[in-house]
Structure 1
Amino acid sequence: MIRIRKVLLVFLTIMLVLPSLLVSAASDEKDSKDEPTGKGSYSSKDEVVYGKLTANGDTKDAYVVNVFHVEEAGQILDYGSYTTLKNLTNTSELVQTNNQVEFAAPEGKFYYQGNMNEQPLPWDITITYLLDGKEIEPEALAGKDGHVKIIITTSENEDVDSVFFENYLLQVSLSLNLDLFQHIEAPDGMLANAGKNKQVSFTVMPEKEEKLVVEADVVDFELQGIDISAVPSSMPIDSPNIENMTGDLETLSDAIQDVNDGVAELENGVVELNNGVKELRSGSAQYKDGMSAIDASSSELVNGSQSIRQALEQINASLANSSEDMNMGDMKQLGEQLEQIANSLQNTSKDLSSLKESYAKDYGRLSRAIEDIPNSELTQAEKNQLYSSSANRSVVDQLIQTHEAAQAVKETYFAVKQNLAAVTGKLEKASASLTTMARNLEGIAGMLTSPPEGADLAQSLSKLQGGIDQLASQYRGFHSGLIEYTGGVHQLSSSYVEMHQGISQLAGGTGELENGVSELHDGTSELAVSTNDLPNEMKKEVNEMMAKYDNSDFKAVSFVSPKNEKINSVQFVLKTESIEQEEKEETEEAVEEEKGFWDKLLDLFR
């Protein structure tokens, strides 16, 4: 009875299982019969490259998921060097021969995976970790506390086709647990909250090698894998609207031209000033030489005047003491002496008159040159405005110093102008006095040398003595004035030497100023020319820059093999290993595994 029960149970079990086995066999037979034959075709192919990196950035594993958009079912050929293949669409077989993969694909999307062995990526990625300023290996960093610095360096891998480095954007992101990380800083990154994590993201532009830095204070360090993705920078970029900017640039260009025009006017003014100061220096030099000559001749003039004064006094004394003993011969001899003195006075008067004319000429040139210096004051506000302009600071310094020196010369001149102007009058007055005295002496001498007939000698001598006494007295006053005048001339000559030195320094300053302003004008002219078309140049630069980053015409190429065609897109998805603490082993009670269907079924027969 028990045996019959067991047989019935086995029979019942077979009846339950047999249909499913028959269905599975039929399904396998149907798949085999429905597998497409003949040559298939596809419209495009996508490649997604997945890479697993070590915590330091070295490539550990990589595989590619190939996606075909099949238009006509059939046999498809693909190219690539793979270590293993996996069909991700159905159970049809993938056959690889000499880097050529062949498979039967149905219409629609077909996926398969190819694992690569040590295939280099287009970028060299190096990740360095520092704890409290000292480099540390990532596996030793887990569980540590302190200030951590993560440096991610990206550069071109020259062993791989440069098309990826030149046209792909790299996007690097880290997720930091805010329970562990505080005071997060990423100078070139963007920070965003993501739940209890802080997301740090970086973007590396095509053709750029970057050094990305993240810093934070951490306790019990752990870090999820760093995500690195690469996609083509193929999105079109619209040129920005820079009309407002170009308007401002046009205003700037006009302002620069105005500055250049102003500097040109300044240069013309400085040239005129320099020419005027050169003329002033020339006139001042002649005036100084004239004053020196007058000063040098002063002693000779005084000595000559002293001799005349002594002669007159001697004649006066002789007439006073010996007039009774004089005869006609003595009077004639005295008349001849007086004629000689009169001639000396006439010559001295002529010398003074000539000196007066020469002095007046030199003084006139000097006066006109100094008075041509503009009489203006530079306020501190105007000086500050000059310094705040675009003019060269050294040129502005020279301009201000020259202006101050010119004003100082002018101020000094006007301080002594009265004395300088008085010299002409004094020379003229002295010359006139000498002429008058000479004429008086000539008259007296004529009376002595040719006395009128019947003249009373005693009466004539008395008149002569009175005239000579008066003349001698006048001459003493003239001689004292002459001494005072020559003293003033000497003092004026000495002081004017210093004034002339100031004028010479001023001339040197204006010469340097002219050179400086000329160089400044050359610079502003060059700047005005270079910025004349600034708005259009700005537009050109912007268009060139936008064209550099606009890769909308980029055509994707296969990462796996250059033989692959109809490539629609290639993307890279990379992730580093996480840095985690090792879990402590825990003793757990062994749990009896739940029995499966067949074990329970067999238990019925035991």
Structure 2
Amino acid sequence: MRIKRFLLLVIVCIVALSPFNVVAASAAAPKDEVVYATLQPNGEELNMHVVNSFEVEEQQELVDYGDYTNVKNLTDLSEITKEGDEISFTASEDTFYYQGDLENKPLPWDFAIRYQLDGEEVNPEELLGQEGHLQIEIETSANEDVNPIFFENYLLQISLSLDGELYQNIEAEQGTIANAGKNKQVTFTVMPEKEGDFLLEADVTDFELAGIEISAVPSSMSIDSPDTDNVTEDFETLSDATAEIDEAVGELADGISELNNGVSSLKNGSSDYQDGMTQISNGSTDLISGSKSIDQALVTMKNSIDQDVETGDFSALQDGLVQIADGLREASNGLAELEDNYTKAYNVLNESMNAIPSYDISEDEIKELTQSGADSEVVNKLVETYKAARTAKGTYDQVSKAFAAVAPTLDEVSNSQTDMASSLETMADQIAAASEGMDIQEGLKELQEGLATLSDNYQEFHSGLEEYTNGVDELSNAYQDLHNGIVELEDGTTALEDGASELHDGTTELADSTSDLPDQMQDEIDEMINDYDKSDFDAESFVSDKNENVQSVQFVIKTESITQDEEDDEEEETEEEKSFWDRLLDLFR
């Protein structure tokens, strides 16, 4: 007992004899605030106190402000006076600490913590000792009733320490998981001006949870702009490449437009050719019918010559020959006109077909075009049109000889009919001359032989004419399929031209939007850096706006632990918070 009294006397003497240089009261001494807050496990606020510290070079009287319910000197035994929200005290040299307790003072953030076990929400006080699949959801948001400077400039770090023997299969998609001895440390970060919504999942046995720790500090670090020269060079390359693509697609669109114009001409020429072939096919029946009539007339004439000789009247024979000759000439003129129309249609078709390019595009080239970034739908149309054009040109090349042979055949048939008409007219004239001279026997005999030869030859000609007309009918029917293909080709090239035009519009827009891409990227980087660069932040007091020269304000927030020995933990924490003077005074109690 005497020892304790002696030590107390020594301390009092030291304090009494120390030289003090008291200066005028000042509210401008540099000050730091550390706000300690305790939350319930669900995030609701329980209590709060603030540790204020002042940096002084010599002893002086200071005034601070805060609506505290209680204040405590954490530095020495000097008295602290509280009148309303004004706190006055004498600060010794170096750093002076005092604590103030706050009631009903809201934090700048609202915290909501929810717990689920096996998919069902559970009150945290009911979780102790439970087991199952645990989910802890932590939400943070701005408290609209508090100065927004803290929400806008402070970085939140939320940490959970999980016992490795109780927690397995820990997952935290938006957090980081680290080893801390036998425990797992799960940390979530909330950037300034952002709200947080985090989920932690784990399988737990014999549930216990240490208090969730939340620290809030100014995000005052200065962020230097990164070296983006290499990146901007890459974007310049991209910008140049898109411009080249746009130019190439423009040339492609022009080429496809020319192709479509050529295919349209091909379609028109094919339509004219098909009409000519249809006319030839439709005229084949009349041509065969007329030729059959001529053949029958020649047979009739040959059989009736004897009767005409007996009667001596050759006028009917003469008239028949003239009529047959007129029929042959009329048929010859029709074939000549038909041959002229066919030749015109064929020339248009041949010119259009030859206008289709004979490019041989390989599969590798098609694959390269597909992978170039061009619109895949337009590329597919282009490939289909290319294949259709190749097919049409190949088909035409195979049948072009048959097309080319039609006109010469028509010309040959027409000339043959003209020759036969001339022969019949000559025969009619000879019959008339022979009849006038009455010396007809020898002429008649020659006529009989000539008619027999003419009839036999004409039957062969008629058979050949039937084969020719049958071939024309088959050619006309087959050409219908080719013409349909040309029509589909024209539809495809029209759609392709429209698609290529849209593609060119898109590449032009892309080229325009990427032309200043490097500058845009640099602006975006600068804007992003400005969003997170809080180096120009000036601290403000959390306790009272009357406090000046505040250097920093920090928040240390912790939820109550959910453990079996929670009370013991609280006592240990209280013990740890005692200052040197508190522990020294305990010796005398």
Does structure 1 residue 188 correspond to structure 2 residue 174? yes
| 2:374–2:503 Cα contact (<8 Å) kept | yes
| 1:41–1:71 Cα contact (<8 Å) kept | no
Deviation of residue 464 (structure 1)? 2.3
Q: Secondary structure at the match of 1:296?
A: helix
Q: Secondary structure at the match of 1:389?
A: coil
d(CA) in 2 for partners of 1:102, 1:565:
14
| 1:333–1:449 Cα contact (<8 Å) kept | no
Stretches of structure 1 lacking an aligned partner (at least 5 in a row): 1-12, 586-606
- Partner of 1:323 in structure 2? 309
- Partner of 2:505 in structure 1? 522
Does structure 1 residue 558 correspond to structure 2 residue 541? yes
Change (3 A) 1:254 1:19: closer
Counterpart residue type for residue 242 of structure 1: T
Q: Secondary structure at the match of 1:42?
A: coil
Does structure 1 residue 265 correspond to structure 2 residue 251? yes
d(CA) in 2 for partners of 1:188, 1:57:
20
Q: Secondary structure at the match of 2:96?
A: strand
Does structure 1 residue 536 correspond to structure 2 residue 522? no
Kindly report which structure 2 residues correspond to 1:380-419, keeping only aligned pairs within 5 A, or say none.
380-419=363-402
Change (3 A) 1:25 1:362: closer
Identity %: 48
Does structure 1 residue 176 correspond to structure 2 residue 159? no
d(CA) in 1 for partners of 2:417, 2:120:
105
Does structure 1 residue 442 correspond to structure 2 residue 425? yes
Does structure 1 residue 294 correspond to structure 2 residue 280? yes
| 2:170–2:203 Cα contact (<8 Å) kept | yes
Kindly report which structure 2 residues correspond to 1:99-178, keeping only aligned pairs within 5 A, or say none.
99-178=85-164
Change (3 A) 1:90 1:453: same
Q: Secondary structure at the match of 2:136?
A: strand
Change (3 A) 1:185 1:560: same
Kindly report which structure 2 residues correspond to 1:41-440, keeping only aligned pairs within 5 A, or say none.
42-70=28-56, 73-326=59-312, 330-331=313-314, 334-376=317-359, 379-440=362-423
Q: What's the TM-score, normalizing by structure 1?
A: 0.87
d(CA) in 2 for partners of 1:306, 1:392:
63
Does structure 1 residue 567 correspond to structure 2 residue 567? no
More deviation in 315-324 or 444-453? Answer: 444-453
Larger Rg: 1
Change (3 A) 1:396 1:19: closer
- Partner of 1:468 in structure 2? 451
Deviation of residue 233 (structure 1)? 0.7
Instruction: For residues 162-187 of structure 1, give each alpha carbon's deviation from its aligned partner in whole angstroms, at most 9, with x where no partner exists.
Output: 11111110011122222222332222
Does structure 1 residue 480 correspond to structure 2 residue 463? yes
Deviation of residue 320 (structure 1)? 4.3
Deviation of residue 548 (structure 1)? 1.3
Q: Secondary structure at the match of 1:390?
A: coil
Deviation of residue 368 (structure 1)? 2.2
Deviation of residue 455 (structure 1)? 7.7
Deviation of residue 28 (structure 1)? 6.9
Deviation of residue 323 (structure 1)? 2.6
d(CA) in 1 for partners of 2:287, 2:11:
148
Does structure 1 residue 580 correspond to structure 2 residue 563? yes
**Aligned pairs, how many?**
568
Q: Secondary structure at the match of 1:573?
A: strand
Q: What's the TM-score, normalizing by structure 2?
A: 0.89
Change (3 A) 1:171 1:520: same
For the aligned residue pairs, the C-alpha RMSD in angstroms reads 2.7
More deviation in 103-112 or 439-448? Answer: 103-112
Change (3 A) 1:229 1:385: same
Change (3 A) 1:280 1:445: same
Q: Secondary structure at the match of 1:61?
A: strand
d(CA) in 2 for partners of 1:206, 1:287:
78
Deviation of residue 583 (structure 1)? 8.7
Deviation of residue 348 (structure 1)? 1.3
d(CA) in 1 for partners of 2:324, 2:6:
169
